[in-house]
Structure formats: C-alpha cells, structure tokens
C-alpha cells in the first residue's frame, strides 16, 4: 500500500468533485475531528481500555454513522 495512490469512487454520494455538498461534508468531518481531538488530547493515556471505550470510542463510532 505504501506509495500507491488511493482513488475513491463516490458518484453515488457526490455527483461531481465540484458539488458544494462535498465541501460541506469535508468541513463537517474536519470540525468533528478537531472537536474529538480537543476533547481527548492529553486525556487518553490515563484511561483504562474500558474507560476509553465508554467515552472516546463510542463518540468516534457515533461520528461514523
């Protein structure tokens, strides 16, 4: 995989690369990632796996849906 170019085929989601909904989706996901990082930066280390699952991973899974 190293060095290979990834090409995504997304026409069912975004009709064209210039579709405004594509930029909105990028902006939304960027904001969600920044909020997740701000919430958990410097806080994950002391958590047990169970604690992390109950907080961070569940929040991350919510973002995926």
pLDDT tens profile 2-45 = 678 888 888 989 999 899 999 999 999 899 889 888 888 888 88
Q: How many domains does the chain have?
A: 1
**Is 46 a member of any domain?**
yes
Q: What are phi and psi of 22, to 5 degrees?
A: -65, -50
Check residue 27 and give its pLDDT. Answer: 95
- pTM of the entire predicted model: 0.61
**Is 1 a member of any domain?**
no
Check residue 53 and give its pLDDT. Answer: 79
**Is 12 a member of any domain?**
no
* Secondary structure of 8-30 in HEC code, one letter for each residue: CCCCCCCCCCCCHHHHHHHHHHH
Q: Measure CA 29 to chain center.
A: 6
Residue range of the domain that includes 55: 20-64
Between 62 and 24, name the one with better pLDDT.
Answer: 24
């Amino acid at each position: 995989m190293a060095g290979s170019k990834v090409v995504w085929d997304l026409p069912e989601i975004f009709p064209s690369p210039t579709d405004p909904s594509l930029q909105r989706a990028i902006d939304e996901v960027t904001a969600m990632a920044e909020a997740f990082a701000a919430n958990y930066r410097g806080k994950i280390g002391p958590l047990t796996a169970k604690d992390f699952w109950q907080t961070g991973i569940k929040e991350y899974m919510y973002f995926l849906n």
